Chain A
Amino acid sequence: MIDPGTITAILVGGLVLLLAIGAPVSISIALPSALCMLLIVDFDRGAITSAQQMLGGANSFALLAIPFFVLAGVIMNNGGIAERLVNLGRVLVGRTPAPLAQTNILANAIFGTVSGSAVASAAAVGSTMAPMQKKAGYDPAFSAAVNVASAPAGMLIPPSNTLIVYSLAAGGTSVGALFLAGYVPGILWALACAVVVFVYARRHPDLKGESFPGMAVFLTTLWRAVPSLGLIVVAIGGIVAGFFTPTEGSAIAVLYALGLSFVYRTISVKDLPRILYDACRTSAIVIFLIAVSTIMSYVMTYARLPQLIAESLFGWTDSKVVVLLIMMLVLLVIGIPLDPTPAILIFTPIFLPIAVSYGIDPVHFGIMMVFNLSIAVISPPSAPVLFVGAQVAKARLEPVIVKLVPFLIVLIVMLFVIVFVPQLSLWLPGVMGLL
């Protein structure tokens, strides 16, 4: 078997090189990973195990929410359902600067209370809001960046699949405590995005708010939006009331939106193939990326790379602050190619015991890990949320990345606030007696 240094060089070098010549992001991760598989096992087993990991990575019921929410969003736009909702939002928060962008952030935070998936959130909210924002004169790259940046708030605001995975990997840390601990950081995430939008809006006076149009207009808008609000009542209400799981709720949302569009006669049966195909292609691109990143996480696990990273990084220091900084930097870097689920499964057993030995609460550590990896799902090059956000906004990737940079900077600063102020995570579960 080849040594870990060579594996790291192939993975990193291959990624950079392939990205530079304009290869697809998925292949830039997949090909170097498959090459490592070939070198560490053998030709046949490398192929078969890579294939198996790829299928395994895509074969997850929770991922189903992604195509469904993309589809629901596309239907809502084509069917005029989204427009009625957004008009209502405009009347309600119209006076803030860049009202539609702020509405987008709020919608992602609300969506986060039922869904634990940032990609699903970006798909559902983005495909609803992006066309509206475009019509209102927003730069599509900016509106996509707002949506992408705020979507992961739902990974922290409970329920959260990612926190459940952490609880498992951490050997049974209370899910209830983790869920409560996620509220404040999740809300802070959304607020951080709102601040960036606020600053942006001050430099773009054309995005200033509109004055309240009067009670009559408000009531008309509300009335017109009632059937659309029904979608939220059915989907979100059904999930909260325990009629179905979030993944199932996404399918119900599709059927409701479709039914309503037929009633409005804004969509006919012959439009369906185009709509289904549009949503299918968007989600296929993201699922393929998640599938191939599983090969890379397998290679890293098999070669024991995370353990070697830990050994080489923590040996020389006793400082809690330095150790935490290193851990957070490692996770920020590793999150670039890896999905949060494998990253948590691989790194929790290695990092958590070290963190605990420095007196860090496992609940707090879980929040910082998930906050950190939530930044990873929006940071390029490998960022499923970013791709979905750009796709549903029909925006090119590069300008979206440029607009995303200020959000990333503020969120990384916020990460270190979360890391070094444990009360932000531990206060709420403490008050509720779960610590």
Chain B
Amino acid sequence: GGEGEEGGAQQPTVFRVAFNQNAEHPQAQALTELSDALEERTDGAYALELYTDETLGDQAATIEQVQAGTIDFAMVAGSLLENFESDMSVVNLPYLYESPEHQMSVLNDEAIVGDLYDALLEDGIDVMAAYHGGVRNVYSSVGPVETPADLAGQKIRVIGSDTNVRMMELMGGVGTPMAQGEVYTAIQSGVLDGAENNPLIYSSLSHAEIAGFYSRTEHLMMPDYLIAAPSVMEGMDEETTAIFEELLAASVDTELERFAAAVEESVAAAEEAGAQFSDADVEAFREAVLPLHEERVTTERTQTIYDAIEAARG
């Protein structure tokens, strides 16, 4: 739990929140605002303290710290929760959402995903909210990518999982898992031809300098989750819980707006560093990747969620 639980009413409860990027990131900004509002609405009884820049360990490590109760909250990538509940993979499929708004509306809809998130409770993980984590696109040092044929033979760094390797195969390229810290040098020397990520990461990792062709394939929209130790909410009175949940819902919306603004800034910064942004034939890629949906939606629960997400398209 947070510090000061034993103290009197004067001592505020400060929750520790682990975050893997810097304090300027839209999610960090949204959480800081959430903390300010929470402090104000509870007369200073509750606040959040952010530990940014991965200083408490990588995201996988911070999940385990939440489980152990060493920290209270962590913002983590959706793919990592698949290791605890394999059905979580259904919401991380490529070409599943038509827009960030579509994504946020279904992933924060209790009726659609409530059952899925509850399954994580027995692992000691309480999903508080899903946040938009950007739209991932392909970038390359070779040239613009318009169709799957353009990716032929290109080694593109992907997240280390069979699903992501398979996705890149269907998209026409060669999915190559690699630790993020090695990617810059690997693209520079030619071990890799490119990678795939959202414009924020693309710009902040300086990958625009070595892989200047950023093509809007829009293949993945992987959510990030704010997770908590179950004891955190159990220790909160009803009134505060209501305030907290209201503020969480609002912060999901602010984060989405801030993310859009941050994408614009990142695109400008990357262009300044020499990047060329171009559109890709999204429909062609989507069709190429659709077989993956059938391969991975295999259980009754994932089928129900998949259908609900499809039904919520505008």
Contacts and interface: CB of A to CB of B under 8 A. Distances in A.
Tell me, yes or no, whether A and B come into direct contact in the complex with CB atoms closer than 8 A: yes
Contacts of B185: 116, 159, 164, 245-246
A62 B206 CA distance: 20
A164 B189 contact: no
Interface stretch (B61-69, B252-260, B302-310): B61-69
A164 B188 CA distance: 13
Contact of A345 (B53, B61, B204): B53
A272 interface: no
B68 A45 contact: yes
A165 interface: yes
Interface string B87-102: 0000000000000000
Interface stretch (A169-177, A383-391, A395-403, A416-424): A169-177
B187 to A, nearest CB: 9
Nearest to B274: A176
A190 interface: no
A247 to B, nearest CB: 7
Contacts of B191: 242-245
Interface string B295-307: 0000000000000
A241 interface: yes
B263 interface: no
Contacts of B189: 239-242, 245
A41 B205 CA distance: 34
Nearest to B52: A349
A17 B209 CA distance: 49
B188 A346 contact: no
Given A52-B57, A62-B179, A301-B55, A175 B190 contact: no
Interface of B: 3, 16, 22-24, 51-58, 61, 64-65, 68-70, 178-179, 181-182, 184-186, 188-191, 203-206, 209-210, 269, 273
Contacts of A45: 68-70
Given A53-B57, A172-B206, A342-B55, A1 B3 contact: yes
23 contacts: A45-B68, A45-B69, A48-B68, A56-B57, A60-B179, A61-B179, A161-B181, A168-B53, A168-B204, A169-B53, A171-B22, A171-B24, A172-B269, A175-B206, A175-B209, A176-B206, A241-B189, A242-B189, A242-B190, A245-B191, A246-B185, A301-B55, A302-B56
B182 A62 contact: yes
B182 A298 contact: no
Interface in A68-125: 116
Interface in A239-282: 239-247
Contacts of A52: 57, 61, 64-65, 68
Contacts of A239: 189
Contacts of A301: 51, 55-56
A346 B53 CA distance: 8
A135 to B, nearest CB: 36
A41 B70 contact: yes
B64 A175 contact: no
A302 B3 CA distance: 12
Nearest to B200: A172
Contacts of A128: none
A176 B270 CA distance: 13
A342 B54 CA distance: 9
A167 B55 CA distance: 15
Given A176-B209, A245-B186, 20 more contacts: A45-B69, A49-B68, A52-B68, A53-B57, A61-B179, A161-B181, A171-B22, A171-B24, A171-B204, A172-B203, A174-B209, A176-B210, A242-B186, A245-B178, A247-B182, A301-B51, A301-B55, A302-B16, A302-B56, A349-B52
Interface of A: 1, 41, 45, 48-49, 52-53, 56, 60-62, 116, 159, 161, 164-165, 167-169, 171-176, 239-247, 297-298, 301-302, 342, 345-346, 348-349
Contacts of B269: 172
Contacts of B186: 242, 245
Contacts of B181: 62, 161, 164-165
The 4 closest A-B pairs by CB, nearest first: A242-B190, A172-B204, A175-B206, A242-B189
Contacts of B3: 1
A244 to B, nearest CB: 6
B32 to A, nearest CB: 14
Contacts of A346: 53, 55
Contacts of A168: 53, 204-205
B22 A298 contact: no
Nearest to A41: B70
A169 B181 CA distance: 12
Contacts of A298: 56-57
Q: Which residue, A1, A175, A297, has most C-beta atoms of chain B within 10 A?
A: A175
Contact of B273 (A116, A174, A240, A345): A174
Contacts of B51: 301-302
Contacts of B178: 245
Contacts of A242: 186, 189-191
B140 to A, nearest CB: 14
Nearest to A49: B70
Nearest to B4: A1
A297 B56 CA distance: 9
A301 B190 CA distance: 37
Q: Which residue, B3, B56, B70, has most C-beta atoms of chain A within 10 A?
A: B70
Contacts of A349: 22-23, 52-53
Nearest to A1: B3
